[in-house]
Amino acid sequence: MREILPGVYHWTATHPSIKIEVSSYYLARERVLVDPLFPDGGTDAFPEPPKHIVLTNRHHYRGSAKFVDTFGCTVWASAPGMHEFEDGRQVKPFNFGDTLPGGIQAIEIAAICPDETALYIEREGGILAVADGVVRMADSPLGFVPDDYIGDDPAAVKLALAKAYRRVLDRDFDTLLLAHGNPWVRGAKNALREFVEANAPR
């Protein structure tokens, strides 16, 4: 686990189902986890015990159950994806436009799946957390997930995603927290703008 901004922590862990490394985040000031798996350091890794977990889509429940058992965290997921949790997992719904614990704002993306959400944190120049609509491998530019994972009409989904992210560009942010790939710390808005213009030119 490393502190990428004051009070913002990032780590990677191997997803038990898809067997690839994915990124998780902890916002210490807000005491909010985003799309978490448990870090190598266990409970001692956290400067303060987390209180809430916010998912950027329903597929990112990941290791949330362990955090619920360990810390008593409350899990939040977007209302259009709540059918995923009919198995009895205790998850609270939020709607697009809601303000979540820690002042985090839920922004509709919805193109790759109806519950796809971006999370906006208004500090450190603005922080935006995204789910599967945009990814970054190593230190590469931003991109899409492979077409096999993007739906029956990849071209249409990609265009819809780029248009959704164009709307996000109205906000001030400087850092991008990606569920798949390394976070983009500083200069992230320009990187996302380039991604949008390449895939949905005006």
| Per-residue pLDDT reduced to its tens digit, 32-82 | 999 999 998 888 888 889 999 999 999 999 999 999 999 999 999 999 999
Given a cut of 90, whether residue 173 has pLDDT beyond it is yes
DSSP state for residue 106 in the 8-state scheme: E
Given a cut of 90, whether residue 26 has pLDDT beyond it is yes
Extents of the domains making up the chain: 2-199
Q: How big is the CA angle at 55 (ends 51 and 58), to the nearest 5 degrees?
A: 135
SS3 129: strand
Residue spans of beta strands (DSSP E) within 35-110: 52-54, 74-78, 91-94, 99-100, 104-108
Query: Please, which pLDDT band fits residue 162 given cuts at 50, 70 and 90?
Result: very high
Phi/psi at 183 (5° precision): -65, 150
Note whether 76 and 94 are within 8 A (CB). yes
Task: Report how far residue 165's alpha carbon sits from residue 83's, in angstroms, rounded to the nearest whole number.
Answer: 25
Task: Report how far residue 183's alpha carbon sits from residue 18's, in angstroms, rounded to the nearest whole number.
Answer: 20
| 2-199: CATH architecture | 4-Layer Sandwich (3.60)
Q: Specify the range with the lowest mean pLDDT, choosing from 24-28, 128-132, 138-142, 166-170.
A: 138-142
pTM: 0.95
DSSP state for residue 136 in the 8-state scheme: B
Instruction: Provide the pairing of β-strand 74-78 with 52-54.
Output: parallel
Task: Report how far residue 36's alpha carbon sits from residue 70's, in angstroms, rounded to the nearest whole number.
Answer: 13
- Predicted confidence at residue 81, as pLDDT, reads 96
Q: Please, what is the average pLDDT of the chain?
A: 94
Phi/psi at 200 (5° precision): -145, 65
SS3 42: helix
- 175 forms bridges with which residues in the sheet? 127, 185
Q: Which of 14, 15, 23, 16 is nearest to 180 (CA)?
A: 23
